[in-house]
Chains A and B, each alone.
Chain A
Amino acid sequence: MIWVETLINGALLGGLYALLGIGLALVFGVMRVVNIAHGEFMVLSAFCAVLLSNLFPQVPPLLMLIPVIALSFAVGWLYQAVIVNRVVTSPDPLSPLLLTFGVSVILRNVMVEIFGADVRSLQVGELSRASLEIAGLNIGIMPLLTLVLAALLFMALQLVLRHTEFGRIVRATADRRDIVRLSGVKPDRVYNYVMGLSLALGAIGGVLLAVRSSFTPFSGAERLLIAFEVVVLGGLGSFWGALLGGIALGMAQLIGLKIDPNAGLLYAHLLFFIMLLIRPSGLVSSRV
């Protein structure tokens, strides 16, 4: 029974992990850039949420998601416009990778210097401890809500990309950056919006993860690695694949923690590496 509970909780955690991955997948899918600073931006949004909830203690902390999401969108837009767009068309595929890695180092150390290296978390009071009991299984309300939210967001994103004008423009730009210009689309501007959207999605994941577990300015690296593993495990083409990948990683992590309480992310990393060994063709061929 305890194992069933672990698996269910792993699946719920997976919803959150999928949220971490989806922003990364979106940017990669549209502009072929792996944004290494994605994890640091998530941590930054968590710091913003903590700051805001300290400033306005009477407002429920989860409502802080709204300004943080808006802020993250703006930051993403600027980040793309000022920095990433300059290398996105570089003939060398490594340039964006190195550039975003540089940005991640800057952000991490700025956060260390401004916020200190202390362990933080976002307190949401009763909600974080509330749980449901279904058929003798103890299931947290907060993780359940997170999974539902993740699924809703995935559906919404799917709808936007498939059925709206904006979605068509984004998909067209992802396919042929050079050809969309003929229809009056400015690819760089589309990229700005996509990066904004990606960081907004990352902010939701970052803030919700800050409720669930504590974080420091150094947490960006592990968030990036989880996000990346979600994307690769799920296969890049599909959002639902990312959800499955997240759930697999969440389960692996919680089962690992049951076996060995201070394993951290080791078992999630191991699952990823084993998948790399036994299913490489699926991993490599699943380019968008």
Chain B
Amino acid sequence: MPTRTVLLASTIVFVALIASAPFVLNEGFLRLATECLLLLTMAQMWNLLAGYAGLVSLGHQVFIAFGAYALFLTSGWLEVTPIWVLPVAPLVAGAVAAIIAFPLFRLRDAYFSIAMWVFAEIIGAFTMKSQEVGGTSGMPLATSKLIDFDWFEPTMFWLAGGLTLVTIAALYKVMTSSFGLGLMSVRDNDLAAMSVGVDVRHNRFIAFVLSAAGCGLAGALSFMGNLFIAPLAAFDVNWSVYMMFIVIIGGIGTLEGPILGVIIFFGLRELMTGPLGLSGGWYLVGLGIIAVVVMIVAPRGIWPALRDRLGVRLLDVHHAAPRPATATILPGASERVTG
């Protein structure tokens, strides 16, 4: 069967599943599923930056916070249902990313990662100081009375599900385009990429802004579901920890990896904090150990290792090299080339 048909069929199945889920699942399970889907979107966004553009951000929580605070504030000012002002979240987060890209892109590797973290700390400290956004104690969603609570959980789930599907489809589209090819070439060898005319800075910039915008939207949805936001939760470095662990465990630089990672992430959480009765701290220890072991044993993550063993390809964005032209070695030429 051609890949296109398989993809189309599975998309239809997923859309149907997401559309019908609220009528089947109970409320607690629906909330969990919503959380899963939002974290999956964030992980995909972190993966876009780390797995494809080669930039590891340890301060991505700042974009989640920007998106969420933007939603809470705009919805309060305009006094409309928060759902209608959702587009503000990615716009604000993306705009912030576009601005701080200028100083941050001068730094590479670990420098970029930690400078992002410092940036998140600075914004977090300022947020705690400004009383307009509720200071340390945070603020409730001012327009929560406009929400129709009969349909709130299902709507949240549909939004999260829609966002996840759109994200994955868009990433698939982007990664199979020439832009995606350029991005991956930068990750693999930026010098070689530059030499064939790939604009490294430009590609990284776009990936950074897209990643921030996606995290902003997912963050806004996540805090909208809580109807409350506080800086300690919004600027929590654990957001970055979760995104990173999901991507690392599942498979960095693949679209399927974060999906597998999210399943392991929530499976382990429900197992450890449920039947085993362990605290959240031990859960993070367990997750951390899995991540460290995966990094040592299978540095590309679990999915790529499985894929190579099973030979399954789902959402492959791998570009095959063009088949070489039939080699005709000119007499005498081979010595010059190899010599």
Contacts and interface: CB of A to CB of B under 8 A. Distances in A.
Interface of B is mostly: helix
B121 to A, nearest CB: 6
B115 interface: yes
B125 A263 contact: yes
A266 B111 contact: no
B339 interface: no
Given A109-B284, A232-B111, A101 B244 contact: yes
Nearest to A278: B103
Interface string B56-94: 101000000000000000000000000000000000000
B299 interface: yes
| Chain A: interface size category | 35 or more
A42 to B, nearest CB: 16
Interface stretch (A167-175, A178-186, A221-229): A221-229
Contacts of A269: 118, 121-122, 125
B164 to A, nearest CB: 24
A283 to B, nearest CB: 7
B113 interface: yes
A40 to B, nearest CB: 11
A284 B111 CA distance: 9
Interface in A257-288: 260, 263-266, 269-270, 272-273, 276-277, 280, 283-284
A104 to B, nearest CB: 9
Contacts of A165: none
Interface of A is mostly: helix
B214 interface: no
Contacts of A93: 109-110
B121 A98 contact: no
A141 to B, nearest CB: 31
A110 interface: yes
Interface in B105-129: 106-111, 113-115, 117-119, 121-122, 125-126, 129
A34 B113 CA distance: 10
A251 B291 CA distance: 39
Nearest to A270: B122
B98 interface: no
B142 interface: no
A94 interface: yes
Nearest to B278: A113
B277 interface: no
A87 B294 CA distance: 12
21 contacts: A34-B109, A83-B292, A97-B56, A101-B244, A102-B248, A105-B288, A106-B284, A109-B281, A113-B281, A113-B282, A222-B121, A224-B114, A232-B111, A264-B125, A266-B126, A273-B118, A273-B122, A276-B107, A277-B103, A280-B106, A283-B106
Given A94-B56, A109-B281, 16 more contacts: A36-B58, A98-B56, A99-B295, A99-B296, A102-B291, A113-B281, A113-B285, A221-B117, A225-B118, A225-B121, A264-B125, A269-B118, A273-B118, A276-B103, A283-B106, A284-B107
